[in-house]
A = this chain, B = another copy of it.
Amino acid sequence: MAKIITMGEIMLRLSTPGFQKFIQSDSFDVNYGGGEANVAVSLANYGHDAYFVSKVPNNPIGESAIAALRKYNVNCDYVAKGGERLGIYYLETGASMRASNVVYDRAHSSIAEATVADFDFDAIFEGADWFHFTGITPAISDIAAEVTEAALKAAKAKGITVSVDLNFRKKLWSSEKAQRIMSNLMQYVDVCIGNEEDAEKVLGFKPSGTDVTSGELELSGYQDIFKQMIDKFGFKYVISSLRESYSASDNGWSACIYDGKEFYHSRKYNVRIVDRVGGGDSFAGGLICGLAEGKDMKAALEFAVAASALKHTIPGDFNLVSRADVETLVGGDASGRVQR
């Protein structure tokens, strides 16, 4: 099993039960999550030594966030304590043509104000095989972008494979700023994950003929874009999940990968959604799992797509399906028959 490091923000997620609007609800379901933390949980769940690097406030809410990760076997020894607050996101789960609604309250969080001095990257990356980050972390503050680059340098200095999930968040930064910061960070990256919107907003590439709200996908433009990305940044693999939003309740879900030579489109699943937040993170987690274990790119992609399709049926940010469940689905049984 590999030693895999992720770094980023963990937030308190407050969601309304039973499709309620915020104004109706007198209780919130409590979960903890965040792009990189979710990847760490996936990897720990498949048996890898997953480490999460972050900073949380030194209060019971910060401790609860760490406990939530530790419960799922994520090593939190390198989570710094201090700062002002744990970031929050509020979630109303949508249905049918009503979209899920996310309200962020993440400014001033401990990780957004952390500095390089909070982390001993030399110790963190000692013996590690893989480092994963997302485009969210450098977006949360200028200092977080600096910390991210410091981590990347340290990882590269030890020859560790680096993956990124571009994950553009328009409420955190502009496309212009994202491109300025992220283009620089791409020099450290081996494996680049990002959907069509990310490629455009974060790196400036635009696949032609894709209308993200129509639910229709055109694979035709992807290979060209992917090729340009590899040409420019030297990635080993470029990967995109492909979501077809029929509605908030039903999505098509597949992915494609390109290694500079071959372009591969996975099997597609039509998923009835329980909770789609964290779906992309579970895809990254599955992909890293597959690649880190030495699967070929097609097998890794199919594992990632099946894993993340299953995530859509699990409440909360974390993907908690077992490796065996993923492999059953990869093996072709999507019947959902009772196991007994």
Contacts and interface: CB of A to CB of B under 8 A. Distances in A.
A309 interface: yes
Given A101-B339, A213-B337, A338-B277, A22 B61 contact: yes
Given A23-B60, A248-B337, 6 more contacts: A26-B26, A60-B92, A97-B271, A98-B310, A102-B340, A213-B332
Contact of A108 (B64, B90, B108): B108
A184 interface: no
A94 B336 contact: yes
4 smallest CB-CB distances across A and B, nearest first, come from A248-B336, A71-B71, A102-B340, A245-B335
A28 B90 CA distance: 13
A30 B19 contact: no
B315 A20 contact: yes
Contacts of A313: 19, 94-98, 248
A42 to B, nearest CB: 13
Interface centre among A61, A72, A321, A336 (most CB of B within 10 A): A336
Contact of A249 (B102, B272, B315): B272
Contacts of A215: 335
A179 interface: no
Given A22-B61, A24-B316, A272-B96, A333 B101 contact: no
| Chain A contact patch, size range | 35 or more
B213 A335 contact: yes
Nearest to A329: B97
Contacts of A22: 60-61, 63-64
A115 interface: no
A99 interface: yes
B315 A24 contact: yes
Interface in A69-86: 70-73, 84-86
A185 interface: no
Contacts of A30: 25-28
A14 interface: yes
A88 interface: yes
A63 B23 contact: yes
Contacts of A104: 340
Interface string A19-50: 11111111111110000000000000000000
Contacts of A247: 272, 334-336
A117 interface: no
A312 interface: yes
A137 to B, nearest CB: 16
12 contacts: A18-B315, A21-B60, A25-B30, A27-B27, A28-B28, A28-B30, A60-B103, A99-B338, A99-B339, A102-B339, A213-B335, A247-B335
A25 to B, nearest CB: 6
A212 B105 CA distance: 37
Contacts of A142: none
Given A335-B214, A336-B245, A97 B269 contact: yes
A85 B107 contact: yes
